[in-house]
Amino acid sequence: MKMIGLIGGMSWESSAEYYRIINQRVRDRVGPTASAPCLLWSFDFAEIEALQHRGDWAGLTARMVDAARRLEAGGAEVLLICTNTMHRMADDVQAAVGVPLLHIADPTAERIKAAGFGRVGLLGTAFTMEHGFYKGRLADRHGLDVIVPGQEDRATVHRIIYEELVAGKVLPASRDAYRAIIARLVEDGAQAVILGCTEIMLLVRPEDSPVPIFDTTALHAAAAMEWALSG
């Protein structure tokens, strides 16, 4: 198997899910004692979060590039950024290394298109929902029509991520809030919903949505497993 490099710790709650999903899938595919060769660079998310909310994307890019280079030097043959938001600098990270970066939006979009959906709702941090780097890739590369919640709902989704989910808090009231926001996306025409933050899968389950949900964490991790077993 090929060596997977994980850029994680943003937050470690979702990075742990990446490690679990990748290894469970390798075990299921290869055998009961098999596991995936992995390297993990784990950030202190408190530092990352502070830079995000200050808007220091140049500083964040420098840190991400440094992590990617360290993983490549350690033997990683493919890289994953274990967070949707930090794919804002995916192109810069890819340009700085000689191994492929598996973009989280691509396996998500491919699965959505294979299911026959064209108009999707997107939940994530305010950065992911409001900036163009993520929606643009889904639209330009994959032809998806992406809609996001209204301003108040975006603020609620963002607050729950940063105040609760990254700290491992999964609250029934927040699940209810997400259910209501998903319902409004469906009213606006969403045929499916992307869980576009790697922590949302801790809160939202398939039964919380009247339309199919696409969990970027699980889809990204599965794509890594397929790559590690290829060739």
Contact 23, 33 (CB under 8 A): no
Q: Report, as an integer, the average pLDDT of 173-196.
A: 98
Torsion of CA 211, 216, 218, 222, to 10 degrees: 120
CA distance to 18, 33, 37, 222, per residue, from 29 (Å):
16, 11, 14, 11
pLDDT score, position 181: 98
**Of 197, 198, 216, 217, which residue is the catalytic one?**
197
Summarised one tens digit per residue, pLDDT across range 93-129 is: 999 999 999 999 999 999 999 999 999 999 999 999 9
Is the whole model's pTM more than 0.85, yes or no?
yes
pLDDT score, position 226: 94
Catalytic site residue 82? no
- CB neighbour list of residue 139: distance below 8 Å, 6 or more residues apart: 145, 146
Q: Is the confidence at residue 231, as pLDDT, over 90?
A: no
Catalytic site residue 83? yes
Mean pLDDT computed over every residue of the chain: 96
**Of 83, 125, 128, 198, which residue is the catalytic one?**
83
Q: Over pLDDT 90: what percentage of the chain?
A: 99
Q: Report, as an integer, the average pLDDT of 135-146.
A: 97
- CB neighbour list of residue 61: distance below 8 Å, 6 or more residues apart: 89, 92, 93
> How far apart, in whole angstroms, are the C-alpha atoms of residue 81 and residue 29?
23
Containing 208, the helix (H) or strand (E) segment is: none
Concatenated DSSP letters for 77-99? SEEEES-SGGGGGHHHHHHH-SS
Q: Please tell me whether residue 64 adopts helix, strand or coil conformation.
A: helix
Torsion of CA 36, 41, 45, 50, to 10 degrees: -140
